[in-house]
Amino acid sequence: MGNISQVASDELIDERALSKLKWRSRRGLLENDLFIDRFFNQFSSTLTVKQAQGLSALMELSDADLLDLHLGRKSLAQAHPDLVRDDVSEVLSMLRATPKGQNETS
């Protein structure tokens, strides 16, 4: 039965859940909004249920902690020990990824 939950978490998120996640991901800090907008522009069409759960967990953080994570000033364990999970780590890597066709200087 463990395989059933694994299969479900690898399914793509549906449009309604994606819309709710986008709304819930709005932040008060412009820098975080820019990172999150870039994330959705790059990954929304391939976002899985598991990744959505990871992003949801990150959205529980304060704006300052979220920015510190994104910039590598804090680890997941430093921000919140409960976030040291595969789904959260995966999404954090995705948030940090440079979009195709861009480099760090652009």
Q: Running DSSP on this structure, what letter comes out for residue 12?
A: B
Asked if pLDDT for residue 101 goes beyond 70, the answer is no
Average pLDDT over residues 59-70: 95
Asked if pLDDT for residue 88 goes beyond 80, the answer is yes
Please choose, from the candidates 16, 38, 17, the residue with its C-alpha nearest in 3D space to the C-alpha of residue 27. 38
> So what's the architecture of 2-96 in CATH?
Orthogonal Bundle (1.10)
Residues 36-60 pLDDT 10s:
999 999 999 999 999 999 999 999 9
Please, what is the angle between helix 63-70 and helix 30-43, to 10°?
A: 60
**Interior CA angle at 73 toward 69 and 76, to 5°?**
40
| β partners of residue 48 | 12
Rounded to whole angstroms, the Cα distance separating 106 from 104 reads 6
**Type of residue found at 81:** P
